[in-house]
Structure 1
Amino acid sequence: MKVRVFLQVAVAVAILVLLVVQFGTGPFVAGFQAVSIPSIAIAATIALATTVCSAWRWRLVADGLALKLPMRDAVAAYYKSQFLNIALPGGVLGDVHRAVRHGLDVGTVPRAGRAVVEERVAGQLVLISLTVVALAVLPSPVPVAVLAIVSVVLVGLIAVVWRFGLVPRAWPGIVLASIAVVVGHAATFVLAAHTVGVDVSMAHLLPLTLLVLVVAALPVNVGGWGPREGAAVWAFGAAGLGGAQGLAVSTAFGVFTIAAALPGAIMLLVPHRRLQRSGELLEGSSANG
């Protein structure tokens, strides 16, 4: 575990060092300086909506596995996990914390862990699906080979979901919630682009945005930084917008992400409210164990 986290951090740091060597600190400074209090407020509002939708998606998956998860607790736990994902290396330890805490509450850590994994995989499945559509339909500088790779990853995720399966009746809500989450993250990235001063049509910006979001989900980052910046540099450079501008946009997006996750730090200070398990829940757990 320690070796894996070390390698994840090493990859992220190596990417950032290479970017500093190539572009200097100017794009990072430009991204930070472009951020304003009003733009942070807008990003935090968007993040509230995406967090609620993410928590709803998690709750739908948990319900399908006969796990009790009140919406209020789901939202609070999701905020905590987002902050921990940013504060701790690797980008997934917050989700581990969310799974373990929920598992201890409902009396089955393995099933609670499965709920978190399936919830995240479902989200990535929708994100990659939308990315493939955007890259294929909208103007994009992405080579056919990259589109093919992304498509292969999509097929792989579909195979995983098919193998483990989610409750069929939960899929419509899960897909709807996931689309809302993608829209929220994309809107935040677009906000970062406009904050930095990128002047390009939405049709050209959206494919780049989704591609960066796919790479940003890789668990090899430090506080969300690393692959995301590398992807932004490549995508914006390939689109003729300049790698430095892409780096500045990604930096502003990173600041928005950190600011939006800060409520999770406050919630971590609040004593945890354990769920009250009912006899019905325990019977459901036994039947599905």
Structure 2
Amino acid sequence: MKRPFKALLRGLVGLALLGAVVALADPSRVWGQLRQAQPVWLLAGLLAGIASNLVSALRWRALARWLGADASARDACRWYFQAIGLNALLPGAVVGGDVYRAVVLRGTGQDTAASSWSVVLDRLSGLWMLCAIGGLGAAACADVLAPWLRLPRGLFIALMFVGTLLWLALPWCLPALLRSRRFAGGWLAPLREAATRPDFLRQLVWQAGASAAVQLLSAAALAGGGLALGVALPASVWAWAIAPVFLMAALPVSVGGWGTREAAAVAALAPFGVAASAAVGVGVVYGVYGLAQGALGALAFGLPRSAGR
């Protein structure tokens, strides 16, 4: 199947899913929710989203420099927001923007392997912490989620805590796993070299802290969109909701996550009594945040490079 046709198909699938979700939630109710949005909370959510991506850009820069691919803070932020713009316009969720970041960093004369691995590891660290915070949020919401899943409350909490702890422990096991001779060469060689460096644990701690800040700010952005539509929920609910909502939005089956994000919002917030129309509205608002930041990235295409590049 040719790429243009795949891109068109993904876009149509995303639009069809979004249309189906809106139709099930009642378009008039969804529009009514959006029309009554409170500007103050909308702005607060957007600012939290921008702050989240600024921290993301600086996290990526620190990781790239640690791997041997240098970039200024200004360039890293500019490229990161440009990537958000591409993600909002191209099919394939986050793939297009990630490829762009790797290519543009490599284009400045940096090492190819370091440039590519910096993007891959940056994305994985974000997903790693996203799932961890989502698991802890789910445990905190056990009173609601356990009956919804027909599980005993104690068992549900134990599963969430144990699963989250094991998940958080995975990166700490990398040095031991990669010492095997099977990883001595090939495309995993740069990762093996990085994981066996003396400062690996220090870098991992920094990466974990930055990723936690990114996801908490993203949860604040989602909550800001919810509050703008009158959806007031405890912080633990938003901590849980970011996992399914953001993971579904990252699936390469739509353009900019439209459709999958709204469907996930409906499913994640339904146990807490949030109407489908309001949940769809929350997903749409968060999508608009992405478009707004993508516009900033598009404007940044015209900015000059930093001195010395």
TM-score range, shorter chain: 0.7 to 0.9
| Corresponding position of 1:135 | 138
Question: Does 2:264 correspond to 1:231?
Answer: yes
Q: 1:225 Cα deviation (Å)?
A: 1.1
How far residue 47 of structure 1 moved from its aligned partner, in angstroms, is 2.8
1:16 Cα deviation after fit:
1.3
Partner of 2:112: 109
Alpha-carbon shift at residue 132 of structure 1 (Å): 1.2
1:32 aligns with 2:65: no
Greater Cα offset, 259-268 or 24-33: 24-33
User: Could you say which residue in structure 2 is the equivalent of 1:284?
Assistant: none
Structure 1 counterpart SS, 2:108:
helix
Q: Please, which of 266, 284, 294 is the counterpart of residue 251 of structure 1?
A: 284
Q: CA deviation at 1:270?
A: 2.2
- SS for the counterpart of 2:239 is helix
Task: Identify if the C-alpha distance between structure 1 residues 114 and 104 changes in structure 2 by more than 3 Å, giving closer, same or farther.
Answer: same
* 1:54 match: 56
Give CA deviations for 1:148-189 in whole Å, capped at 9, x if unaligned. Answer: 8xx59x859947993646533311111111111101110011
**In 2, Cα distance between the equivalents of 1:36 and 1:274?**
42
Q: How far 1:4 moved relative to its partner?
A: 5.0
Aligned to 1:281: none
Percent identity of equivalent pairs:
26
Structure 1 gaps of 5+ residues are 277-289
1:54-96 C-alpha deviation (Å, 9 max, x unpaired): 0121112112211111111111111111111112222221221
Correspondences of 1:99-178 after superposition (within 5 Å): 99-139=102-142, 140-141=144-145, 143=149, 155=167, 158=170, 162=174, 164=191, 166=195, 167-178=200-211
Q: Report if aligned partners of 1:55, 1:78 keep a CA contact under 8 Å in 2.
A: yes
Determine the C-alpha separation between the residues in 2 that align with 1:105 and 1:157. Answer: 35
Counting matched residue pairs gives: 273
Question: What is the deviation of 1:99?
Answer: 1.0
1:18 alignment counterpart: 20
The amino acid of 2:246's aligned partner reads L
Match in the other structure for 2:224: 191
Unaligned runs of 5+ in 2: 179-190
The Cα of 1:271 is off from its aligned counterpart by 4.0
Quote how far apart the aligned CAs of 1:35 are. 3.9
Q: 1:199-210 maps to which residues of 2 (within 5 A)?
A: 199-210=232-243
What secondary structure does 1:270 align onto? coil
Q: Classify 1:51/1:68 alpha carbon distance in 2 versus 1 (closer, same or farther; 3 Å).
A: same
Partner of 1:216: 249
Give how far 1:39 is off: 3.7
Q: Using the alignment, how far apart are the partners of 1:126 and 1:210 within structure 2?
A: 10
**Cα distance in structure 1, aligned partners of 2:291 and 2:38:** 14
Aligned to 2:187: none
Instruction: Identify which range, 37-46 or 262-271, moves more after superposition.
Output: 37-46
Q: Residue 32 of structure 1 aligns to which amino acid in structure 2?
A: L
Relative distance call for 1:176 and 1:155 in structure 2 (3 A) is closer
Give the partner amino acid of 1:267.
A
Task: Give the distance between the partners of 1:135 and 1:201, measured in 2 at CA.
Answer: 12
Q: Give the superposition deviation at 1:269.
A: 2.1
TM-score (norm 1): 0.81
Is 1:262 matched up with 2:295? yes
1:96/1:253 CA distance change after superposition, 3 Å: same
Q: Give the Cα–Cα distance (whole angstroms) in 1 for the partners of residues 238 and 47 of structure 2.
A: 22
Question: Is the Cα–Cα contact under 8 Å of residues 251 and 257 in structure 2 kept in the other structure?
Answer: no
Q: TM-score, normalised by structure 2?
A: 0.76
